[in-house]
Structure 1
């Protein structure tokens, strides 16, 4: 409205009215045009939007806009958290005082232990992450497995810059690749013991990372005992997306398992290249010596409703992947049912 009023006044100065045309008063017109610029400089400055870290709060550390995302770095207690766009989810966490987060990133650590017992951390030699974010998963793997080689793929270079500055994403064993995740898999010749997929544009999952063709590509880059892990969002009681992903993965992988995250409304879907079993996981858990690894494994058994998905039903293909429609249904139903 303010700009419109200035425009009308400027037009009046330029024309002198319908019956008295005249040359413009250039000095006054210049002043009027400078007013919006001055207000922009002296007006109230602040965040584009309030931070909404876990617990719906936090202190804003910095914010950026990239070609892909609006990005916020937020401090919540001892945690530095990465928020994207509407801030509907926390994408990465860094806490200098502890490795584990109780969030979905922890569960990537235990995925290989569905393999035949005895399975040990020394059998994991190379890890690939699609959706690196601010590096929570590589940090945890480096702490638990040692300096294993990690390829971290992130499409947004601005997130990588912020991660290196604010999240201490500087592990010497981490090779950062700024690229589309699926394109990376199509062009690399590497094979991995773990491939983690944690790519989100909240609340949606990129459809091209959900299809049976994509999971065939993932499996082709796994070692014989390799595993793929997908972080899937959900509401508290609606597992339609989780089950659709798990059943699509079941058409590709030998076995598929689901673990519900203790913190945040996420589930982890794990596909194994080799024939595996839940009994393997229980046996391997009993043999674990690393405290962090044992903590996550026992939490999975106690609180994660750990289960095998045996239904083979291809929901998502490259030709038809109605991921956004499914997520929209989940959101609408959650609103209609009061968040349940």
Structure 2
């Protein structure tokens, strides 16, 4: 928390800020760890002629350990433990191993420092509260830091600190976020739609609305994070029906294996701070089109702006989608200015015959029918300056950086209040930082004396 506040307060840009924070947090442990292998080679090389073989032995073990550590972390530790526990357990293991051959006095000091850091009295206990709301669920999943908050009748799911989905406990099928209402453009542009695919489930706002509003439609939802699905079923009143099927899978892998043909595909898997590049490339959109009917409609929700330095990722996506689909429509899902980071909706038709004018007459949501005309954005910049995203070239991380650093607000519809703000607090952050610095200095002094 101290590092985060300091870096944010320094006013650095989106590249220098993370670099500085990473250096402050990781340099102290990384530098001593980098000294281990050369020091081990020195200890093993009592005879000059054995320097080469000793170095080979040490670095081969180091390489094997790196490979084992990578697989252990990805397949065992992270799926079963939260990130904080993994980091602390790794630190504890390093301290324990390094203390094996110390003197009795040094071992006593090590044990004391160990207890100070890893017992509740010295551990950074992070609590999460919400202004104006009650935190009812917290979970560190394999892919997200998830928090569910209830305020009055509204239940909101936050992923990685940002609002992702919301529902009303009084009317579970009502669409709370304004941008989710634009999903209905799919069946409106394709009146014969009978099968819909959502890539990204979240709180299932769109799927629930489709299930209720269109009794003839079958809805499939692909969600990567099983814990998000579990939370949605527990807190967001997802109906149990044969017309709603849920698949725990990556969206692209699912489409690669799918045999079904979809009339509408809704891409709602993009966040403000992270965009999966493999769901934004030319090859991906070609795959989507391959799984769609001749009158199919693609609806994409992206968080960006229409003008300014935070618009690049949207117009790059627009250019890429336009290489595959015949007709494109752009909508501002809120009443904010064009330079504000907000939810932007891109509707793309497989056929050039789809008509927005006819679609407005078919929309069953009166709010959306009135909003479509004013939300339609027709000013398209020159696309020559934007790259075409492919599997071989997709610099979406660079494009998302300006968006990450800007404020983002999601517009609510039919609810007079505002969403709660999450507050993260640590009770012993200062003492932990002090002990961490002391540990680093002490370890370096021990290492220096033994060289």
Q: TM-score, normalised by structure 1?
A: 0.76
Asked whether 1:317 is paired with 2:421, we answer no
Which of 126, 134, 137 is the matching residue for 1:62?
A: 137
The CA deviation at 1:150 is 1.0
Counterpart-to-counterpart distance in 2, 1:284 and 1:272? 12
Alignment correspondent of 1:338: none
Alignment correspondent of 1:305: 376
The CA deviation at 1:91 is 1.4
Post-superposition Cα deviations, 1:91-140, rounded to whole Å, max 9, x if no partner, equal 1111133412242211111234335xxx4xxx221110111112111011
Which of 145, 170, 181 is the matching residue for 2:251?
A: 181
Asked whether 1:273 is paired with 2:350, we answer yes
Post-superposition Cα deviations, 1:136-174, rounded to whole Å, max 9, x if no partner, equal 110111122125211100110011111110111234121
Counterpart-to-counterpart distance in 2, 1:329 and 1:45? 31
Which of 157, 165, 169 is the matching residue for 1:96?
A: 169
Q: TM-score, normalised by structure 2?
A: 0.58
Counterpart-to-counterpart distance in 1, 2:116 and 2:196? 55
Alignment correspondent of 2:288: 218
Asked whether 1:167 is paired with 2:236, we answer yes
Which of 158, 164, 188 is the matching residue for 1:83?
A: 158
Post-superposition Cα deviations, 1:243-290, rounded to whole Å, max 9, x if no partner, equal 11111100000111111112781101111111135xx222332355x3
Which of 394, 402, 406 is the matching residue for 1:329?
A: 402
Alignment correspondent of 1:106: 181
> Does structure 2 conserve the Cα–Cα contact (< 8 Å) formed by 1:84 and 1:202?
no
Counterpart-to-counterpart distance in 2, 1:183 and 1:16? 56
Determine which structure has more spread, i.e. the larger CA radius of gyration: 2
Alignment correspondent of 1:138: 207
Counterpart-to-counterpart distance in 2, 1:62 and 1:258? 36
Where 2:147 maps in the other structure, the secondary structure is: strand
Where 1:39 maps in the other structure, the secondary structure is: coil
The CA deviation at 1:309 is 5.8
Q: CA RMSD in A?
A: 3.4
Unaligned 5+ residue runs, structure 2? 1-90, 336-340, 408-451
Counterpart-to-counterpart distance in 2, 1:138 and 1:200? 17
> Does structure 2 conserve the Cα–Cα contact (< 8 Å) formed by 1:153 and 1:176?
yes
Where 2:198 maps in the other structure, the secondary structure is: strand
Unaligned 5+ residue runs, structure 1? 336-340
Counterpart-to-counterpart distance in 2, 1:35 and 1:125? 58
Counterpart-to-counterpart distance in 2, 1:33 and 1:96? 45
Counterpart-to-counterpart distance in 1, 2:306 and 2:287? 31
> Does structure 1 conserve the Cα–Cα contact (< 8 Å) formed by 2:146 and 2:159?
yes
Post-superposition Cα deviations, 1:154-213, rounded to whole Å, max 9, x if no partner, equal 110011111110111234121110011100000111111111111135412111111111
Q: Specify whether residues 33 and 324 from structure 1 end up closer, same or farther in structure 2 by C-alpha distance, changes over 3 A only.
A: closer
Q: Specify whether residues 299 and 228 from structure 1 end up closer, same or farther in structure 2 by C-alpha distance, changes over 3 A only.
A: same
Counterpart-to-counterpart distance in 2, 1:50 and 1:236? 33
Q: Specify whether residues 249 and 95 from structure 1 end up closer, same or farther in structure 2 by C-alpha distance, changes over 3 A only.
A: same
Counterpart-to-counterpart distance in 1, 2:266 and 2:403? 24
Counterpart-to-counterpart distance in 2, 1:145 and 1:331? 36
Counterpart-to-counterpart distance in 1, 2:117 and 2:298? 57
Which of 283, 304, 317 is the matching residue for 1:234?
A: 304
Where 2:197 maps in the other structure, the secondary structure is: strand
The structure in which a higher percent of residues are helix is 2
Counterpart-to-counterpart distance in 2, 1:153 and 1:36? 39
Counterpart-to-counterpart distance in 1, 2:119 and 2:404? 41
Counterpart-to-counterpart distance in 2, 1:208 and 1:175? 23
Counterpart-to-counterpart distance in 1, 2:136 and 2:207? 23
